[in-house]
Structure 1
């Protein structure tokens, strides 16, 4: 069965926010990836190159708080209330497709399910009730 974790979008201060969260929850970041270190680095302006494409902080038993700096068009219209996603981590591509197709029915698909450069099968959508979702099946997960 898939796990579900919050995924936050920040207007450029994700690193500051996550250092704060780490000071409260403790633990260590399990991922810190900057836009300059991705295959899309050439499309990112110099001002945003050092911003966070992805960061994750495990909290408690099996929970992970994740985030990105919503730069450029991603950050257009970003405001409190629409600045988070529920991120599903299914156990297989089949489960990913089932969850994606079921939950996105009647909604708006923004990123169709596809293999991504970070080693995952990933998609994003807003469901028919206005809730933002991500589905991310990690090919490298350990069962």
Structure 2
């Protein structure tokens, strides 16, 4: 069994996934739009908005879409994307890239459990944690 995060955006999914690909590497293996749905498509949806996106990087999967207008967008609440990295250098690189133009709530720093840890919200309003644990 595998558990993969699925994010919802309010019309910014394509921009967010291009940003994540730039920051995290990997490949966007799917980016389908509401206007590409078979038949009459998705009534009421902006045909240019993303119905489903999939980014694969470093053995991980991140999926997302733009919200359907029948379900009002309320932002991302009560959870964070957590990236566990293997080195201080990778923690610094990922933190600097993802937090650019975002809102940092805890700068990248050493903690009692990690050589580097940070918490922030990226420019798309997605909460993130970057964690580089101490050797056990």
Q: Does 1:39 align with 2:35?
A: no
Matches of 1:4 and 1:73, distance apart in 2: 26
2:9–2:64: 8 Å Cα contact kept in structure 1? yes
How many residue pairs get aligned? The number is 80
Q: Going by fraction, where is helix more abundant, 1 or 2?
A: 1
Q: SS in structure 2 opposite 1:12? A: coil
Unaligned runs of 5+ in 2: 81-136
Scaled by the length of structure 1, the TM-score of the pair is 0.49
Indicate the residue corresponding to 1:14 in structure 2: 13
User: SS in structure 2 opposite 1:30?
Assistant: strand
**3-state SS, counterpart of residue 3 of structure 1:** coil
* RMSD of aligned Cα (Å): 2.3
Shift of 1:77: 4.6
Q: Distance in 2 between matches of 1:4 and 1:40?
A: 31
Residue by residue, what CA displacement relative to the aligned partner does 1:94-138 show, whole Å, maximum 9, x if unpaired?
A: xxxxxxxxxxxxxxxxxxxxxxxxxxxxxxxxxxxxxxxxxxxxx
The 2-side partners of 1:53 and 1:83 are apart by: 22
Q: SS where residue 50 of structure 1 aligns?
A: coil
Residues 61-140 of structure 1 aligned to structure 2 (within 5 Å): 61=59, 63-74=60-71, 76-81=72-77
Which structure would you say has the larger Rg? 2
Specify every segment of 5 or more residues in structure 1 that has no aligned partner in the other structure, as ranges: 85-143
